[in-house]
Amino acid sequence: MPEQTEILVCIKCKRGTEVTEEGERPGAHLFETLKARALPQGVAVRAVECLQNCDYGCSVALRGGAQKWTYVYGNLHEVSHLDTLIEGAGLYHQTADGLIPWRTRPEHFKRNCIARIPPQEDTPND
């Protein structure tokens, strides 16, 4: 059984907009909306403070344990990309290594990957 997959949502994302101190940031809205939606089994959502991609849409990271690649995606809209994000997280969760085959990735994932981080390697004890 695969480890749990986390959607890490940057709640500080501004999507290139001016946000007042009292105003809700698009990233926080994305997090709250995802939290209220039904997610695929094995997928959870968690808020994080900043993914350092502030002006380029909302940003999220998908991670799923020490044996999987972690992906960071940007240019997400807090309303129009919800279904894409949920679909992609479900596909990611079903993989053993985090690598979704290119042809089955949601189109937004193909064009808006900011980074991919390799899985942790087992290192021998010195």
Blockwise average pLDDT, block size 10, the chain, 126 residues: 86 74 84 96 96 86 94 94 96 96 96 94 60
Phi, psi of 11 (to 5 degrees): -85, -5
| Structure token digits, residue 124 | 């021998």
Is 0.75 topped by the overall pTM? yes
Q: Measured at the alpha carbon of residue 116, what is the angle toward residues 70 and 56, in degrees to the nearest 5?
A: 105
Ordered by where they begin, the domains of the chain are: 5-117 (3.40.30)
